Amino acid sequence: QLQLVESGGGLVQPGGSLRLSCTASGFQPNYYSIGWFRQAPGKEREGVSCITPSGDSTNYADSVKGRFTTSRVNAANTVYLQMNSLKPEDTAVYCYAAQYGCGTIRSSAPYGVYYWGKGTLVTVST
């Protein structure tokens, strides 16, 4: 059965850090590029980052470049999103997507999605 366990969301003050993780079972995430997306209330979904199957290449939205880092440990079927220097505008539900390639960062995966995670809430507030 397909299953994702996502964790790491929560409340953090501006300038703080959080680390999101997602561990998959029931499929082999190492076959796929992994994207992180986010959506805030009243706003459209936006792409945050993407990492290739081997982890040898990553790309990021301009809004998070230099602050966020995505990585993966394929032996553990786990992908991470390290978020530093968080801003209130980073507040959103963050979702994992196993997808068919990275491409440019945008609101949807350019080549389709195999499996979506349910997301975890990140709140950045004083």
pLDDT of residue 4: 82
pLDDT of residue 104: 85
Residue 10 φ then ψ, to 5°: 155, -165
Cβ-count burial 4-13 (b if 16+ within 10 Å, e if not): bebebbeebe
Mean pLDDT by 10 residues, the chain (126 residues): 88 98 91 96 94 96 97 95 98 95 86 92 96
Answer for the pair 6, 118: CB distance below 8 angstroms, yes or no: yes
pLDDT of residue 33: 96
Answer for the pair 81, 48: CB distance below 8 angstroms, yes or no: yes
Please state, in angstroms and as integers, the Cα–Cα distance from residue 115 to each residue in 13, 40, 83, 100, following that order: 31, 21, 23, 10
pLDDT of residue 76: 93
pLDDT of residue 107: 83
Look up residue 50 and give its two tokens.
């993407």
pLDDT of residue 65: 97
